[in-house]
Amino acid sequence: MLSYRHSYHAGNFADVLKHIVQIAVIEYLKKKDKPFTVHDTHGGAGGYLIDSGHMQKTGEYRDGIERLWDRRTEIGVIDQYVKLIRQLNPAGKLREYPGSPQISASLLRDQDRLQCTELHSTDFELLQKRFAGNKQVRVEKLDAWQGIKAMLPPTHRRGMVLIDPSYELEKDYTELLPALQMAKQRWSTATYAIWYPVLDRNRTEHFVRQFVQAEMPDLLRLELCPRPDASGRGMTGSGMLVINPPYTLAQHMAQAMPALKDALCETGGHTLVKQLTGEAS
């Protein structure tokens, strides 16, 4: 049974990194008129009310979006993220933090599509309800890896796959690489963005090494760790592995990281932008 609920964690420092990268990839896809599809393997509920009991219980958003909400950094990828979150809160107060499907949906043009899978019954129903009647968005109650089999490739050649497991089960770590390889066989031209937590540095490095050893061509690693590494003391940071990144992403994230570090990191925190294989052309 799945117990993870993203409603406790929405808008935290991990969502900030993940959603900045997600928006940057989609904005890059929008530079051409040709349509694209976003496939979101772990959709969550799609949106989270700040005043809800879950968000107030952990208060994690206070060390994430709340620290950026009022900042103007003059750094493109950060400002376009904050601008989007503000647009989704038109009253000028942070009332709801959007999940990744809502973020994608609000960036789609008429010709683009979004497809999501979500397995948790409650979150699936919330997600389905959010997009009811929206012909651009398809939501399925499916296991993420089954969804890859059933829904990829989409009709469009261009697009991105966001892979954002909760890592509550050991198999979330072990099944990811084979699932990614299957997805890439089906849809080789997509950009793949995989989020990972930093809970234990040795484990994180082992996880990342698998992707390098699997010879993923053109693999970019991004990491934002607000706290120093400390095994056994919860999530101290998180990262993204991006396969087939837009050629501009490494440079844009390298510009953004000092400002994100300044806003979100404690003493001893760190950021990383590293091309692991291939090179941005």
Please report, as ranges, the residues that interact with ligand SAM according to CB under 6 A. 2, 4, 6, 15, 18, 42-44, 99-100, 117-120, 123, 143-144, 164, 166
- Point out the residue whose Cβ comes nearest to ligand SAM: 99
Nearer to ligand SAM, 99 or 237 (CB): 99
SS3 135: coil
Cα separations in angstroms, 1 against 101, 166, 168, 211: 23, 13, 10, 28
Residue 231: exposed, middle, or buried by beta-carbon count in 10 A (0-12, 13-18, 19+)?
A: exposed
Give dist(CA 64, CA 82) in Å, integer.
11
Are the CB atoms for 48 and 95 separated by under 8 Å?
Answer: no
* CB of residue 144 to ligand SAM, shortest distance in Å: 4
Active site residue 112: no
Is the Cβ–Cβ distance between 94 and 50 less than 8 Å? yes
Q: Which of 40, 110, 164, 262 is catalytic?
A: 164
**Least CB distance from residue 120 to ligand SAM, whole Å?**
3
Shortest reach from residue 18's CB to ligand SAM, in Å: 6
Instruction: Considering the complex, state which of residue 41 and residue 73 has its C-beta at the smaller distance from ligand SAM.
Output: 41
Task: Please say which residue, 119 or 214, places its beta carbon nearer to ligand SAM.
Answer: 119
| Residues acting as catalytic residues | 164
